[in-house]
Structure 1
Amino acid sequence: MEAGGVRAAVRALPREPGVYRFRDGRGRVLYAGRAVELRRRVGSYWRDLGDRPHLARMVRAVARIEAVVCESEHEAAWLERNVLEHRMPPANRVPGGLESPVHIRLDLSAAAPGLKVAHVPTPRRETVWFGPYLGGQRARTAVAALHRAFPLHYTGTGLTVAEREMAQARGVGPGQRADLALAVRAVLEREPGAVAALRAELIRRRQAASDEAAYELAGRIQAELEALEWTVAPQRVTVSAAYDLDVSGWHEGVLVTFTIRGGRMLDWRQRACSPRAAAPHLAATPPEWHAFAARNAALAATLAAHTA
């Protein structure tokens, strides 16, 4: 494969988050990674790699680029993790990425309501679990953002003296518990209006802190905003429901099939395929996956055309 074909494939990549992988002339996967912006990240491999000779050697062997566009950076991070844990290519060095998987627990008990971050969800009364999310620190910072706007943790009956004083200062008590819990739940369920309202409130508070020269507080709120965006971003490639499914999309002679096992998207494969042969695969794909599969099939067909 001439370098010009690979470079043309790079230029055809979208400026969106996703996961990419490189194959050599024999079809073997050399490397897989994730990107905030696919075109820029993949294109960086064809610039100066002088301080990373192992990558420079790998790039010289690249004959084909494959990529999956994701709904968010968070989704791309999960897909990369799943792909690398399923099968790690030779040029990758860290299986599964560095972020820790966590869940957020919404405790609705009268004594100690509020949010906590935990690695493993465990059944408990008066508790609702959300996630999974990647990145324990991000999740804890997002919880701080939720507690800042919705001080549910100050509405319990088991508060210390200091906590009761804080609750009084915040103007909350047991009477607000149900409404605050509903507000928190709406955000964690990614309801657009609830997320937008919380984002606007945090931006307002950040600006107020900046106006008062409370720059450390403004910085904390900015970090909370960023963590919130990560946490509530759309993400479907890893879910708590342990279901198995194959999701397929077809475009101009290319069939792409994504493998989901135990609620985790582990891999994708693509091949030349006629419309007739693709039909049963497309019919078996649930409607909620049609747009994702079709878009990535179109990208696969475009990249394949450049590196055929």
Structure 2
Amino acid sequence: MAAAGPPPSVRMLPAEPGVYRFRTAAGRALYIGRAIDLRRRVGSYWRDLRDRPHLSRMVAQVGRIEAVACDSGHEAAWLERNLLEREMPYWNRTPGGAEVPVYIRLDQRVGLRAVRSPDTVAGSRLFGPYLGGLKVRLALSALERLIPIAYAASKLSGSERDLARVRGVEQSDRAALMDAAMAVLERDPAAVAAVRTELVRRRDCASADLGFELAGQLQAELEAIEWIVSEQKATRTDTRDLVVHGWADGLLVRFEMRAGRLSTWTQRRCSEPTARDRVAATAPEWQSFATRNAALAARLHHVQR
């Protein structure tokens, strides 16, 4: 059964990735979730709960909606996970989400590999963390398809040598292939664009040849590449602590990063003079994030007063 129409605050939400939090009118947290499109996802709670009938009782208690606009679905996934690991509201059922944290190791000896541990290994570079083992495996499949480091190794079996010849790869290509993979993992725009363009070309060729299974695989790999190269600040290998503040129209939003994880999100009424020093102390790379989310918090707050 559909719930009553969505509250006016839903129209204030951006059609962008992010994390949302439902509270009662008294301020008690009910639920934290994430979305690729905040406006559509949050609005769905008031439109159609046929696949989630148990949430109708929760929706009836929602008095306030809060949201954080993220730079990607991957960032939203990490922020949701971090918040839920710190504190899980009553209506959430899975602390920290279901995806597995994974890293990609680029090793001089073995090439690309998905690993669970962030431990460093001599002669290697570690990238991540990423959420979702399947997404990482698909991304590695795409990279190995286009940048075949494994076939530039010094020790290959007979069949591997045959495949290397078919792909036109020699051991002397290894350094260049390592550099190409590193450029993608470091999110170099030109390198990412080249991978994206080639995957799209191969997908479309496979589809035109009625190779729909291959086309589907290439589309999944393309989406996985987008996942691992998207902007993601909510969890880092850099374990420094920091505090981020944004202020807009009388509302101060505060985020805390502890041990490399953005895991605390609060907001409160605050005068501009009181907020000024806190906002000024926010690191430059976080200022855009903080400013736009303070503005979003203020819009939501004023329509819900």
User: TM-score by structure 1 length?
Assistant: 0.95
Q: Is the 8 Å Cα contact of residues 248 and 281 (structure 1) preserved in structure 2?
A: yes
Paired residue type of 1:28 = R
Q: Is the 8 Å Cα contact of residues 251 and 269 (structure 2) preserved in structure 1?
A: yes
The aligned residue for residue 7 of structure 1 is 7
The aligned residue for residue 247 of structure 1 is 244
The aligned residue for residue 301 of structure 2 is 304
Cα distance in 2, alignment partners of residues 131 and 265 from structure 1: 15
| 1:217 is aligned to 2:217 | no
Trace 1:172-187 onto structure 2 (pairs within 5 A).
Answer: 172-187=169-184
Deviation at 1:259, TM superposition (A): 1.0
Describe the SS at the equivalent of 1:281: helix
1:155 corresponds to which of 152, 155, 179 = 152
Worse-matched range after superposition: 95-104 or 213-222: 213-222
Q: Is the 8 Å Cα contact of residues 6 and 64 (structure 1) preserved in structure 2?
A: no
Q: Is the 8 Å Cα contact of residues 6 and 43 (structure 2) preserved in structure 1?
A: no
Q: Which runs of 5+ in 1 are unaligned?
A: none
| 1:282 is aligned to 2:279 | yes
The aligned residue for residue 134 of structure 2 is 137
The aligned residue for residue 71 of structure 1 is 71
The aligned residue for residue 117 of structure 2 is 120
Paired residue type of 2:94 = V
Deviation at 1:231, TM superposition (A): 1.2
The aligned residue for residue 91 of structure 1 is 91
Deviation at 1:50, TM superposition (A): 5.3
Q: Deviations over 1:122-172 (max 9, x none)?
A: 221211110000000110110010011111111010211111111111001
Cα distance in 1, alignment partners of residues 108 and 87 from structure 2: 40
Closer, same or farther in 2 for the Cα pair 1:45/1:5, shift >3 Å?
closer
Cα distance in 2, alignment partners of residues 21 and 245 from structure 1: 22
Closer, same or farther in 2 for the Cα pair 1:38/1:208, shift >3 Å?
same
Q: Is the 8 Å Cα contact of residues 5 and 306 (structure 1) preserved in structure 2?
A: no
Cα distance in 2, alignment partners of residues 134 and 123 from structure 1: 19
The aligned residue for residue 30 of structure 1 is 30
Cα distance in 1, alignment partners of residues 120 and 48 from structure 2: 51
Cα distance in 1, alignment partners of residues 51 and 259 from structure 2: 39
**RMSD in angstroms over aligned alpha carbons?**
1.6
Q: Which runs of 5+ in 2 are unaligned?
A: none
Cα distance in 2, alignment partners of residues 219 and 55 from structure 1: 34
Q: Is the 8 Å Cα contact of residues 32 and 89 (structure 1) preserved in structure 2?
A: yes
Cα distance in 2, alignment partners of residues 286 and 221 from structure 1: 39
Instruction: Give me the identity figure in percent.
Output: 56
Cα distance in 1, alignment partners of residues 230 and 249 from structure 2: 31
* Aligned pairs, number: 303
Deviation at 1:6, TM superposition (A): 6.8
Deviation at 1:4, TM superposition (A): 10
The aligned residue for residue 21 of structure 2 is 21
Closer, same or farther in 2 for the Cα pair 1:157/1:265, shift >3 Å?
same
Q: Is the 8 Å Cα contact of residues 101 and 129 (structure 2) preserved in structure 1?
A: yes
The aligned residue for residue 188 of structure 1 is 185
Q: Deviations over 1:18-48 (max 9, x none)?
A: 0000111211111000011000100111123
Paired residue type of 1:99 = E
Deviation at 1:210, TM superposition (A): 2.3
Paired residue type of 2:164 = A
Q: Is the 8 Å Cα contact of residues 34 and 80 (structure 1) preserved in structure 2?
A: yes
The aligned residue for residue 39 of structure 2 is 39
Deviation at 1:256, TM superposition (A): 0.2
Describe the SS at the equivalent of 2:299: helix
